[in-house]
Amino acid sequence: QRPVTLSTLAKMKAEGEKIACLTAYDAAFARVEEAAGVDLVLVGDSLGMVIQGHATTVPVTMDHMEYHTRCVAAGLHIPLLVADMPFVSYADPQRAVDNAARLMRAGAGMVKLEGAAGQAEVIAALAGQGIPVCAHLGLRPQSVHKAGGFRVQGRDEAAADAMRQDARDLVAAGADLLLLECVPRDLAQRITAEAEVPVIGIGAGAGVDGQILVVHDMLGIPPGRKPRFVENFMAEADSVDAAISAYVQAVKDGRYPCDEHGFD
Ligand code: KIV
Ligand code: NA
């Protein structure tokens, strides 16, 4: 099997094949995800919450991201490896290029940053150095303190229009992929239809080109309260491998996400 590249993802969007994505933070999960047919593996800065036990992603540093990117890269050959740029690591274009270079050298094939209107210059600088970029729109966890909490984004018309404009601007600046977190399903579908690049969703309904979840969430770790968009694939599986394979199949078949996982 050939490694997944940007052209693979573009072809999947064009042909309507759903892109199955998951986070991973170490080589063990990377190997299981690869074997299950995951197309894109994200070393998310969610590791600040999942691995380090913090309440937000704000404490995560470049050293942490670089270390976990190396761990995941060691276990991965086929899926596209995307690594998150952590809090303030892309505050200006030069800093963004230097930090993205660290993640690319650690084995990433693309970096992701939480983009809004102001991020076009940073994305253009990365694109200019041949670094593929995913722009993360909607709920942006690194801005949680400014936003005053984690909540669905783009619910009123002005906010929805602004997000559509951001998506256009960031793609025009050179973003190769968009990720929408906690966005009403109709808005996510509209942005997906308008975008030339693939759009991955989390809590963004079924009308996007692919889905992503935090791997611990979809395995039911820890038990208890979970975001509405999460399905526990471990509930009906007898192994972690089987649960991750079931997730990939459910994304490919359009059985995940269902209506109940999305927002209006
Ligand atoms: O950090 C992360 O895991 C993410 C995904 C939830 C999209 O950004
Ligand atoms: Na993230």
Instruction: Delimit the domains of the chain by residue range.
Output: 6-261
Kindly report the backbone phi and psi dihedral angles of residue 202, in degrees, each rounded to the nearest multiple of 5, phi listed first. -140, 115
Distance of alpha carbon 220 from alpha carbon 62, whole angstroms: 28
Q: What is the pLDDT of residue 231?
A: 97
Using 50, 70 and 90 to split pLDDT, how confident is the model at 152?
very high
Ligand 1 contact via 180 beta carbon (within 6 Å): no
Distance of alpha carbon 243 from alpha carbon 238, whole angstroms: 8
Ligand 1 contact via 134 beta carbon (within 6 Å): no
pLDDT tens track for 186-213: 999 999 999 999 999 999 999 999 999 9
CATH H superfamily, domain 6-261: Phosphoenolpyruvate-binding domains (3.20.20.60)
pLDDT tens track for 75-115: 999 999 999 999 999 999 999 999 999 999 999 999 999 98
Average pLDDT rounded to a whole number, residues 220-246: 94
Radius of gyration of the chain (CA): 17
Q: What is the mean pLDDT of the chain?
A: 96
pTM, entire model: 0.98
* Percentage of residues of the chain with pLDDT beyond 70: 100
Q: Give the number of the atom of ligand 1 that is nearest the alpha carbon of residue 57.
A: 1
Ligand 1 contact via 212 beta carbon (within 6 Å): yes
Q: Give the number of the atom of ligand 1 that is nearest the alpha carbon of residue 23.
A: 3
Contact 85, 98 (CB under 8 A): no
Ligand 1 contact via 45 beta carbon (within 6 Å): yes
Q: Whose CA is nearest to atom 5 of ligand 1?
A: 44
Average pLDDT rounded to a whole number, residues 127-142: 97
Using 50, 70 and 90 to split pLDDT, how confident is the model at 165?
very high
Percent of the chain that is helix, strand, coil (3-state, to 5): 45, 15, 40
Average pLDDT rounded to a whole number, residues 165-184: 97
194 annotated as a binding-site residue: no
Ligand nearest to the CA of 202: 1
**Which residues have a catalytic role annotated?**
181
pLDDT tens track for 14-28: 999 999 999 999 999
Task: List, in sequence order, every residue forming a beta bridge with 110; answer none if it has no partner.
Answer: 82
Contact 207, 261 (CB under 8 A): no
Query: Residue 16 C-alpha to ligand 1 middle, in angstroms?
Result: 23
Average pLDDT rounded to a whole number, residues 127-137: 98
Query: Residue 85 C-alpha to ligand 2 middle, in angstroms?
Result: 8
Residue 149 has pLDDT above 90, yes or no: no
Q: Whose CA is nearest to atom 3 of ligand 1?
A: 44
